[in-house]
Amino acid sequence: MFDSDAPHSEAPRSEARDPDALFGLEQPAAEGVGFAELARLPLAELMSPDWADALAPVEGKLRDVLDVLAAEVAEGHLLLPSPSNVLRAFRQPLAGVRVLIVGQDPYPTPGHAVGLSFAVDGATRPIPRSLANIYKELNADLGLPPRVHGDLSRWSAQGVLLLNRVLTVRAGAAASHRNKGWAAVTTAAIAAVVNRRSADGTPAPLVVILWGKDAASVTPLLGSAPVIASAHPSPLSASRGFYGSRPFSRANNLLLEQGDGTVDWELPPLP
């Protein structure tokens, strides 16, 4: 089930980064970078240091995927999101993750995918219908006003990991990169989130939100992490259990039970 319209589908920074680094946390990644170049860069230049450590065991698989993507571009295919945003979810430190929201594929519409599941660029109008439905439930759940934009970076900055199961797609071809190798990378990422430990050895605070059957397929990876599961927010399925599921207030209550405060889910009127 991709995170567009039909189902099939700041936590504190852990350390200072070089402001000139290609994927520094302080600034957007440089435009014009290709997949072939990404495949040659050290992991620490592609993501936060603790994510680089966590994903080191699958570094070879990640580079294999990037090589496959470079070959597709060389054949003339437009891939989404842009190379500079493909690993965007891993720019925020792994240590700061508090809530994991699993998507499936990026939006296949050019200009929509930005590397965070369900999010779009702040200038995109109208926003995708799935995201509009997420805002409707946010309003019903917490009374927060729906927004005209789809910039969810404020959630990301508070430790909400917006992670697609598959991180790229061919423009106009949903699910086109399902078998390119991304599953091994994102499986390792989900395992890294779930297996973190606090200083006393107990599991680090975490809530996992799963929308739809495809997202629910990661359940075996989640161990004892609290899970909030419902139908997907797509217009085709939102009325079958997404509406009324109250994921935002439930996530905050579960975080409070773990002694980790709450997420402020309100987004600014404009990005």
The tens digit of pLDDT for each residue in 53-94 reads 999 999 999 999 999 999 999 999 999 999 999 999 999 999
The answer to whether 159 and 99 are in contact (CB under 8 A) is yes
Q: Scan for tokens 């994927």, then name that residue.
A: 23
Q: Write down the pLDDT at residue 33.
A: 79
Classify residue 99 by its DSSP letter. E
128 cis-preceded (ω within 30 degrees of 0):
no
Domain ranges of the chain: 91-257
Q: Write down the pLDDT at residue 22.
A: 37
> 130-146 burial, b if ≥16 CB within 10 A, otherwise e?
bbbbbbebbeebeeeee
Q: Which of 137, 98, 90, 135 is CA-nearest to residue 242? A: 137
DSSP code per residue over 184-242: HHHHHHHHHHHT-B-TTSSBPP-EEEEESHHHHTTGGG-TT--EEEE--SSTTTGGGTT
Number of H helices, E strands in the chain: 8, 6
Q: Which of 171, 161, 12, 22 is CA-nearest to residue 82? A: 171
Catalytic site residues?
105
The answer to whether 168 and 114 are in contact (CB under 8 A) is no
Instruction: Check if CATH label 3.40.470.10 holds for domain 91-257.
Output: yes
Residue 216 pLDDT > 60 = yes
Residue 237 pLDDT > 50 = yes
**Average model confidence (pLDDT) for the chain?**
90
pTM over 0.85: yes
Q: Which residues contact 244 (CB under 8 A, 6 or more apart)?
A: 137, 140
Residue 9 pLDDT > 90 = no
User: Dihedral, CA atoms, 144, 150, 154, 160, nearest 10 degrees?
Assistant: 90
Rounded to whole angstroms, how far apart are CA atoms 7 and 27? 33
Q: Write down the pLDDT at residue 27.
A: 35
Q: What's the whole-number mean pLDDT along residues 196-218?
A: 95
Residue 19 pLDDT > 80 = no
Number of C-beta neighbours around residue 179 at 10 A: 9
- In one letter, which amino acid is 213? K
* Token pair recorded at residue 210: 């799963």
* Token pair recorded at residue 201: 């050895």
Residue 16 pLDDT > 60 = no
Rounded to whole angstroms, how far apart are CA atoms 185 and 168? 12
Residue 20 pLDDT > 70 = no
Lowest mean pLDDT among 12-16, 196-200, 215-219: 12-16
